[in-house]
Amino acid sequence: MVRYHNTNGKLIQFTAEEETARDLEEQQWLDESDARKLALIKEYRLQKLEETDWWVLRGNMTEAQTTYRQNLRNIPQDYTASDYDALLEMEGEIPNKKLKHTVWEKP
């Protein structure tokens, strides 16, 4: 595939060195996909934990609530990169879109 960059309104074809550099950038992006997904999962996890902090502060969490919060904390060790897409799968329509995997469901 021939690539171009726009310089002062003109399309100029990439040099061989630019092609190589761009190929490396794209490969690096692909190689870091799992790390980006895990970071997003951790953001969702933190949000879910913060949403339920009041359960802890209230002082009388149910066993189901305790298990839910522990399962959230265990996501990094309980799931592998092959599970990340399932963990990030969404359902519903905006503005009611939500994470679909059962680990995110509150008791």
Tens of pLDDT, residue by residue, the chain (107 residues): 789 989 999 999 999 999 989 999 998 988 889 999 999 999 999 999 999 999 999 988 999 999 999 999 999 999 999 999 999 999 998 888 999 999 999 99
For residues 76 and 53, state if they share a domain. Answer: yes
CA angle 84, 87, 91 (to 5 degrees): 135
Q: What is the pLDDT at residue 31?
A: 80
Q: What is the pLDDT at residue 47?
A: 96
For residues 52 and 27, state if they share a domain. Answer: no
For residues 39 and 20, state if they share a domain. Answer: no
For residues 88 and 61, state if they share a domain. Answer: yes
Q: What is the pLDDT at residue 102?
A: 95
Domain, as residue range, for 25: 1-31
Q: Which of 54, 59, 51, 61 lies closest to 104, judged by CA? A: 51
For residues 62 and 92, state if they share a domain. Answer: yes
For residues 46 and 69, state if they share a domain. Answer: yes
How many distinct structural domains can be found in the chain?
A: 2
What is this structure's pTM? 0.77
Hey, is 96 helix, strand or coil?
coil
